[in-house]
Amino acid sequence: MIKPHGADALNSLLVTDNAARERLLAEAATLPSLLLSSAAAANAVMLGGGYFTPLSGYMNVADALSVAEKMHTVDGLFWPVPVLNLSNDTSAISNARRIALRDPNVDGEPVIAVMDVDAIETLSDEQKQRITEKVFGTLEAAHPGVAVFQAQGNQCVSGSIQVLNLSYFESDFPGTFQTAVQIREDIATRGWEKVVAFQTRNPMHLAHEELCRMAMDRLDADGIAIHMLLGKLKTGDIPADVRDACIRKMVDVYFPANSVLVSGYGFDMLYAGPREAVLHAVFRQNMGATHLIVGRDHAGVGDYYGPFDAQAIFDEVPDGALEIEIFSADHTAWSKKLNKVVMMREAPDHTPEDYVFLSGTKVREMLGDGIAPPPEFSRPEVAQILMDHYRSEIAGIPA
């Protein structure tokens, strides 16, 4: 199986021994505590699950700036996005060397991790702007990732952590949420060697489904891992439980047995386009995938990135920095000429009128009105789940 990033074995920071976890929880009750931002809590979950191997905790300012500017830490580890614990107020932990970290996303704000504090530094406004510009490619507050990052505060708390639980993901998404450790075990049990990962924060329409098939066929892969984001999204995105139901229905009905692994991960979406695409590659390598599908406007939002910027950035990845390979895909859509889904770059004789196109706004209107999109766009079983969601959540009618 493919090696984890920068290590011979996964560096999972989750404390799995019950006795050790109980000791740490007892200790945490005596320690100064810091309430995390949702983003920092998600970073703790990713560290706990081994997705952020080989990191041992949150980065300091020097590493964050180096990663933002050069995509590597001060010590030379390739990494595309700073992994930070930023706070507006660190007065409760000033001068503390060991602290408890509390989870803002669970009732009662329980302890999610115990941290050995290396430093508490102030990130200057200029430094924060520089990180923002390099990671997100824009300083516009209208960008959802920029808005979240800018709101996190300027106090940077760095150091190693021991993770005591995986927040709300295990309880809210049983059977779907998996750590990188668990996915590697799943892949090994299935006997897969060549594994294609497909990243999604949305339900999968027919074009996405066919893109997965194209990648599997062309790479002669043993299976595909559909890996959905389960954390915080921007307003208007489909909730994770609905997305999960759609994807599972599609896989159950339209894919052969033991060809697809459906799972999810506990991270808040950054909408950072190219940089987030590289981060996706890092933690897909850590979970055991050998290839990652990177499509048009991967991890993008609005018009902040060019349609293929998320593919072009991999040309900047130093040779040998990553073992995972990229399957570069164009936009896929149903061809009226060929009666199948095609990649647009592979149909040079087509005009826009030759494809079945529906805007996101149009699809939402149809679903809200109880009208299923055409079968050339969406599987009817998937459309039904989405119509039920829009009826209950938007129209206020019980599903």
| Whether pLDDT at 395 is above 60 | no
Q: Is residue 389 part of a domain?
A: yes
Q: Which of 130, 201, 248, 391 is catalytic?
A: 201
Domain identity same for 142 and 279: no
Cα separation, 44 vs 37, in Å, equals 11
Q: Residue 252: how many CA atoms within 13 Å on its side-chain side?
A: 8
Q: Specify the pLDDT at position 397.
A: 53
DSSP H/E element including 362: helix 360-368
DSSP for residue 354: G
Asked if residue 162 and residue 198 are part of one domain, the reply reads no
Per the domain annotation, does 2 fall within a domain?
A: no
CB 85 within 8 A of CB 43: yes
pLDDT at 21 over 90: yes
Q: Which residue pairs, CB below 8 angstroms and at least 24 apart, start in 343-350?
A: 343/211, 343/214
- Please, which pLDDT band fits residue 363 given cuts at 50, 70 and 90? confident
* Pair (261, 377) in one structural domain: yes
Q: Angle at Cα 240 formed by Cα 83 and Cα 363, nearest 5°?
A: 115
Q: Residue 132 belongs to a domain with what CATH number? A: 3.10.400.10
Q: Which residue has the higher pLDDT, 241 or 40?
A: 40
Does residue 213 fall inside a structural domain?
yes
CB-CB neighbours of 384 under 10 Å = 16
Flag whether 11 is in a domain: no
Give the residue numbers spanning the domain of 321.
Answer: 173-393
Residue 6 lies in a domain: no
CATH for 278: 3.40.50.620
114: three-class secondary structure by DSSP: strand
Residues 188 and 319 in one domain: yes
The answer, yes or no, to whether residue 376 has pLDDT greater than 80, is yes
Same domain as 157, residue 179: no
As a whole number, the mean pLDDT across the chain is 95
Is residue 8 in some structural domain?
no
The answer on 264 and 123 residing in a single domain is no
Q: Does residue 379 register a pLDDT over 90?
A: yes
Task: List, for residues 107-165, the tens digit of each pLDDT value.
Answer: 999 999 999 999 999 999 999 999 999 999 999 999 999 999 999 999 999 999 999 99
Element (H, E) at 191: none
71 and 36 share a domain? yes
Element (H, E) at 131: helix 125-136
- The answer to whether residue 357 sits within a structural domain is yes
Which amino acid, residue 297? D
Does residue 130 have an active-site annotation? no
Percent of the chain with pLDDT over 90: 90
Distance (Å, whole) CA 354 – CA 335:
6
For residues 272 and 297, membership in a common domain is answered with yes
> At 362, is the pLDDT very low, low, confident or very high (cuts 50, 70, 90)?
confident
pLDDT in tens, 184-217: 999 999 999 999 999 998 889 999 999 999 999 9
Q: How confident is the model at residue 59 (pLDDT cuts 50, 70, 90)?
A: very high
Domain end point (choices 170, 201, 218): 170
The residue type of 366 is M
* Residue 229 to residue 219: CA distance in whole angstroms: 24
User: What's the mean pLDDT in 39-52?
Assistant: 98
In the listed set 170, 201, 231, which residue is the last one of a domain according to the structure? 170
| Tokens found for residue 15 | 């404390």
Query: For residue 394, what pLDDT is reported?
Result: 55
Please report which confidence band the pLDDT of residue 23 belongs to, taking 50, 70 and 90 as the band edges. Answer: very high
Q: Please give the pLDDT value at position 365.
A: 85
Mean pLDDT across 70-88: 98
User: What's 374's DSSP letter?
Assistant: P
Same domain, 197 and 135: no
Say whether both 157 and 205 belong to one domain. Answer: no
pLDDT of residue 158: 98
How many structural domains are present in the chain? 2
Q: Does the pLDDT at position 396 exceed 70?
A: no
Residue 21 falls in the annotated catalytic set: no
Looking at 138, 170, 202, the residue that finishes a domain is 170
Residue 9 in domain: no
The catalytically annotated residue of 11, 190, 202, 364 is 202
Domain shared by 128 and 186, yes or no: no
221 and 163 co-located in one domain: no
Alpha-carbon span 10 to 55, nearest angstrom = 10
